Structure 1
């Protein structure tokens, strides 16, 4: 699947940049829907008459859609050509977000966010396979970082714009805007994804075989625990700005964009480090994030401290993610799409863990900035688990 087919007649053979652009636009649409929800959480909490901690159920439902739905879709579609799979997924994405815009109550919104979330991991996994096909062998980290680039761009532009739209035209309009971006992404995928037998899937048995490996699940746990601090911060950026720093809500989109710029920078560097070094991307990323979380927890009520730390937390966490993908693929090279789906499932389990952990600390009265300490505990656990598994692999006979 990673080898170029000599007989390929697809667009990628003529202009790979268009293929990568189409994949990036798809992940941009998905990221805008995901992170845009975090930016409007206060709005739909008020409109649907629920508390902020209860409103996080919609965020959690999306994450669970990725965790549960995406691996299942990837397994059942194992034999499907990656082009066909990506086109079907973007249709499901548009439907899920369109229904979210019409949700009459929180229960409905939770259900529709689950549907939208079920697309994400499968799309990123299949997209990473297509990107790796375009780049060629030995550049798995760069390929995954390219696919993730649309997601990071969504945190810079899509999510802040979605938040702005939500604040000025209503949170439902934000989801309708996401539908529009999804339709554009669908058109780009139809036009520019390569048509080639090289992108046919493999057997379900082969995919299932990868799931029997303990090291795969340990790496999934490392990702889920470690990356959770992103969401213990990102989910609560609005309250950080308005409650902790006592600034106007108009600054929330700026804070979201700053976080997104950090994510983009970290993802770009992390993709290159992942292809050169086995462990550095993850250990440096997690370690740096822990130091920054402590700074926010102590002094994040000062906006001049909060904003640079938001940039750096986004950067250090994203620096680790391509390394996670390369490690997963090396553990199960016969199932790259499933490993991509599991990586995104882990990241969205992290979304759930971070949002739930932060909601718990707020609920018990520890204050808005206390959410970073929930992230600190989870990321510490992820780093320790990775160090133990790396030592285990080193000394294994």
Structure 2
């Protein structure tokens, strides 16, 4: 994208990040509003068994995640030939519609369906946005480009989700999704105004995009990301009881812990993007090492307030720093199937989210305590690194067009 002024590029990157901010809000805001949603949509069950009602309301989070897993490869494969500006705007319109439907749907079943539909564009948006951002900043700064798109997602956990959750708790959970819809509507207008036109790939076909899955290195990268984020969500899902039951803080201190974790993820995303530009595979190994040390530190020091805060910051930073490195790695090894490779990364990450939360719940239910999910995260680092090594081994003797860091990675 030549001929663009630096100011226009900054505005375009801001528009892409705003979309990530909206996605972070729509994905995570339900977590803080489950009691209100359960009380409104499942009144009979809530009256007799509030815990069971809240647990069932949690299906809304699962429905969104399933939508991400299903939508990322299908939408990306089918839309690779479309002009990217129009495709991004179409995806944010779909988010807007899904958010409005979530706010207006009258029953639990219809809200569940709306959350599934709202998750469908998630992976495709991040995949296409990553490709557009990489084109804006140039091949030497692809990792930074990816991180700047993803930083909107992490900023949502610091600013957007707490604010919208507060609103939903005081004026009704449906208004939370109205606000999210407004964010996506503004994003659509912003994209149309500042994103430069860029054609899609006229030679792209569904079959060609699906060829990415014939490449072992693509599978190894996806598995590396899924397990890495599985470890992160094993901790993130249970950070509230870790704070109250292990550290001994009040429930009012939990939002502070979440903000510290969110700041860590934001710092990590940006640092990881810069590190990925120096070699994606090398960055993955370095960051898994940092992630492992962070998890070990948190497990050993979570009984103190300082240890908890430093630990969650470090875990958030090191885990999220892996994301742009994985995304860059996929862009290197996907060959011509760039769109689907960039999108399915988010399917893998959502599978990791579910895996980490489930395994963390298993060890807690088994009576090992609320520090145990941290050890689960540490254990998941082992196969994560193993798959990263396997991915490196199948590509270290080859170079592929556009793999600007292949030489550096081969020297790991």
In the superposition, the TM-score normalised over structure 1's length comes to 0.88
- Asked whether the equivalents of residues 216 and 394 of structure 2 are also in contact (C-alpha less than 8 Å), the reply is no
Q: How does 1:39-50 map to 2 (within 5 A)?
A: 39-41=32-34, 43-44=36-37, 48=42, 49=46, 50=51
Separation (CA, whole Å) in 2 of partners of 1:395 and 1:53: 50
Match of 2:334 in 1: 332
Counterpart of 1:279?
A: 281
Match of residue 197 from structure 1: 199
Deviating 4+ runs (over 6 angstroms): 11-14, 198-201
Q: Report deviation, 1:105.
A: 5.7
2:28 pairs with 1:35: yes
Greater CA radius of gyration, 1 or 2? 2
Report Cα offsets for 1:146-170 as digits up to 9, x if no partner: 1111112112211222333344344
Query: Contact 2:216/2:391 (CA < 8 Å) preserved in 1?
Result: no
Give matches, 1:229-308, under 5 Å.
229-308=231-310
The alignment partner of 1:216 has SS state of helix
Partner of 2:219: 217
How has the CA–CA distance of structure 1 residues 336 and 393 changed in structure 2, closer, same or farther, with 3 Å as cutoff?
closer
Aligned to 1:19: 12
Segments of 5+ residues of structure 1 without an aligned counterpart are: none
Distance change in 2, residues 1:61/1:287 (3 Å): farther
Distance in 2, Cα, partners of 1:167 & 1:245: 27
Q: Counterpart of 2:72?
A: 70
Unaligned runs of 5+ in 2: 400-412
The root-mean-square deviation of aligned C-alpha atoms, in Å, is 2.7
Q: How big is the shift at 1:378?
A: 2.4
Tell me the distance in 2 between the aligned counterparts of 1:269 and 1:308. Answer: 17
Q: Do the aligned residues in 2 keep the contact of 1:60 with 1:355 (CA within 8 Å)?
A: no
Aligned partners of 2:378 and 2:108: how far apart in 1?
Answer: 30
Q: How many residues align?
A: 390
C-alpha deviation, 1:268, in angstroms: 0.9
Indicate if the aligned counterparts of 2:225 and 2:352 stay in contact, CA closer than 8 A: yes
| Whole-Å separation in 1 of the counterparts to 2:246 and 2:176 | 26
Residues 226 and 352 in structure 2, CA contact (< 8 A), matched pair in contact too: yes
- For residues 52-110 of structure 1, give each alpha carbon's deviation from its aligned partner in whole angstroms, at most 9, with x where no partner exists: 65554332322221111121011111211111111111111122222333455654444
Q: Is the 8 A contact 1:33 1:178 kept in 2?
A: yes
Using the alignment, how far apart are the partners of 1:201 and 1:395 within structure 2? 29
Conserved? CA contact 2:102–2:177, under 8 Å:
yes
- More moved, 20-29 vs 161-170: 161-170
Distance 2:32 2:254 in 1: 8
Matched, 1:181 2:202: no
- For the residue of structure 1 that corresponds to 2:214, the secondary structure is coil
Per the normalisation by structure 2, the TM-score is 0.85
